[in-house]
Structure 1
Amino acid sequence: MKSQLWLASLVALSAALPAAADTAPGDVAYTDGAVAVSLTGVAGDAAAGAKVMTTRSEGNCVACHQIAAMPDVPFQGDIAPALDGVADRYDEAQLRGIVSNAKMSFEGTFMPAFYKTTGFIRPGDAYSGKAAPENLPPILTGQQIEDVVAYLLTLKE
């Protein structure tokens, strides 16, 4: 009976602990624009990544990029490179770096940094006309970045 109680306590305690801690945006290590280490230590979910990429309030990647693998998504953009075959052009670390902060790979790009909290030039506070608060959150969480990367890795020619 004691061993069952001990096991139940251990299971409850492990469920209460976070699975992995996200790497803080300011602590991400870029090497030539690539991020070799997962931001969360948890594998990305490609289906969740596809949702992030097509949701306006999240990544909304399709606002700028075309993705032939998503024919049901309307109003895909054409101002950024098509993402078809992107997994043949970049490896996982490079994709993680590009999604986290494309400016680390492509100087002058207009792609937003999805995992950045500092170094902005005059961000506004929604539509108020006032400056944003000091501590801006990243656009996407570390797990959302991992999910998007998992989806991008499915896009092969």
Structure 2
Amino acid sequence: MKRIATTFAALCLTATAATAEVAPTDVAFEDGAVALSLTGSAGNADEGRKIMTSKSSGNCVSCHSADAYADVPFHGEVGPILDGAGSRWTQAELRGLVVNPKMMFEGTVMPAFYKVDGYTRPGDAYTGKAAPADLPPLLTAAQVEDVVAYLMTLTDE
């Protein structure tokens, strides 16, 4: 019985390690691209669309437009049009662009959505004081994967 419990515990630890998400500080870039999923699994494209078009979440619509979400008002024109994004860039490149676009395009004004350090600290609302030391990334690892899954559906076909 003890052997079965030990084997079960080892299997649980292995499964947990295999599905552990990559921390923002541990993301591996290669030429701006991030090859591996941050969660170990594919994202949900429907959730990705919600994140991209929500002003309180990804807010991608503030800078980017696409025919696929033309029903969402107030598209910005700062960033490139996302029609055909899934054909222009690989999944790894899109993941890198969402995680930290400055790794691929140094002068971009697009924010890093999965980063927690290396930037000027924002203020804490209107208090005139610095924000708490541990700020979370703008999107979770799962949300990044959802956005990437949605962007992959925006093809030229």
TM over 0.5, shorter chain: yes
Q: Distance in 2 between matches of 1:32 and 1:24?
A: 19
Between the two proteins, what is the percent identity of the paired residues?
Answer: 60
CA shift at 1:103, angstroms? 0.5
Structure 1 consecutive aligned stretches of length 4 or more whose deviation exceeds 6 Å:
none
Any residues of structure 2 matched to 1:81-100 within 5 Å, and which? 81-100=80-99
**1:68-87 equivalence runs, <5 A:** 68-87=67-86
Other-structure match for 1:49: 48
Report what 1:21 is aligned to: 20
SS at match of 2:68: coil
The CA distance in 2 between the partners of 1:127 and 1:23, in whole Å, is: 33
Unaligned regions of 5+ residues in structure 1, if any?
A: 1-5
Structure 2 unaligned blocks of 5 or more: none
Q: Residues 1-20 of structure 1: matches in 2 within 5 Å?
A: 20=19
Q: Which aligned pairs between 1:138-157 and structure 2 lie closer than 5 A?
A: 138-157=137-156
Letter aligned with residue 65 of structure 2: Q
What is the distance in 1 between the residues matched to 2:109 and 2:100? Answer: 11
CA distance in structure 1 between the aligned counterparts of 2:144 and 2:125, rounded to whole angstroms: 23
Deviates more, 1:65-74 or 1:126-135: 126-135
**TM-score after normalising by structure 1:** 0.86
How far apart are 1:49 and its partner, in Å? Answer: 0.2
String of CA shifts for 1:1-36, please: whole Å, max 9, x gaps. xxxxx9xxx8xxx7xx86821100000000000000
**One-letter code aligned to 1:132:** A
Identify the residue that residue 65 of structure 2 maps to in structure 1: 66
Q: Which moved more, 1:27-36 or 1:71-80?
A: 71-80
TM-score, length of structure 2 as denominator length: 0.86
Larger helix share, 1 or 2? 2
Q: How many residues align?
A: 145
Q: Give 3-state SS (helix, strand or coil) of 2:19's partner.
A: coil
For each residue in 1:57-109, what CA deviation from the matched residue of structure 2 results, as whole angstroms up to 9, or x when unmatched? 21010000001111210111111111001111100000000000001000011
Residue type matched to 2:54 in 1?
Answer: T
Equivalent pair of 2:53/2:69 in contact (CA under 8 Å): no
User: In structure 2, what is the Cα distance between the partners aligned to 1:46 and 1:135?
Assistant: 29
Q: Does 2:151 match 1:119?
A: no
Equivalent AA in structure 2 for residue 72 of structure 1? D
What CA distance in whole angstroms lies between the structure 1 residues aligned with 2:43 and 2:29?
19
